[in-house]
Amino acid sequence: MNRIEKTFAALRENQKKAFVPYIMAGDGGLETLVDRLALLEKFGATAVEVGVPFSDPVADGPTIQRAGLRALANGTTLRGIIQEIEKARKVVSIPIILMTYLNPIYSYGIAEFVRDIRNAGVDGCIIPDLPIEEEKIIVPELEAAEVELIRLVTLTTPLERIKTISSRGKGFLYTVTVKGITGVRNEYDAELTNFLKSVKEVSKIPVMAGFGISSKEQIQEISKYSDGVIVGSKIVDLFEQNLLSEMEDLMSVSKQKSNV
């Protein structure tokens, strides 16, 4: 079991839900990454998803796109991010998941990328533009390095395909809760509850819900039908505005015991 599996097993045993914040590496300066990871662990994060800035982020909404542009303007590189994560491992014990697109990995070199993230202490990767039909280009290397590929399903993914996707991983299944890109939302599609229930029924691994979740009320409601939530745009906004007490309050729900 890698760090992700161990963490979710502990959550199940303690009847708790997961809270995974997303941050954009290099937003605010790459030198802030270690401190931000440590702070999120202190606030109760189950794991942290670390975004790699990219010039054509097809899955990202306006907030994360702007954060990515700020990070690129700061000179942030994939190699630099990996080096900072390695530093963070001296003070951060929770799982770290790297979110990047294929192009930066190709530019880095697949074998070298996998070797370096393993050595740095990365536990998982999210690659939104990698379909399961093309996974063979990197999955053997990731599996050998014991780095989990976190796969995504959406509201439009057929149930049989969800079964196939969830059967391939050991970490968790990233379930996209909206039809579209990331970003804070005030309400969700009426079919979301039934969708999450269906995914939970067929998935062999924990089901995490993400995209647009921004309030304690949304976190509590969506967590009823999933194993936890991933919060991105709201966390990015709060870091940009330096509203750390508000962030801690938002994340306090992760410390509560679940009755479902």
Active site residues: 49, 60
Among residues 234, 227, 194, which one has the least CA distance to residue 213? Answer: 234
| Residue showing tokens 């942290």 | 48
Whole-number Å distance between alpha carbons of 9 and 256: 17
Whole-number Å distance between alpha carbons of 58 and 129: 8
Q: What is the 3-state secondary structure (H, E, C) of 189-237?
A: CCCHHHHHHHHHHHCCCCEEEECCCCCHHHHHHHHCCCCEEEECHHHHH
Q: Which two tokens stand for residue 183?
A: 């970003």
What 3-state DSSP class applies to 111? helix
Strand partners, 98: 50, 125
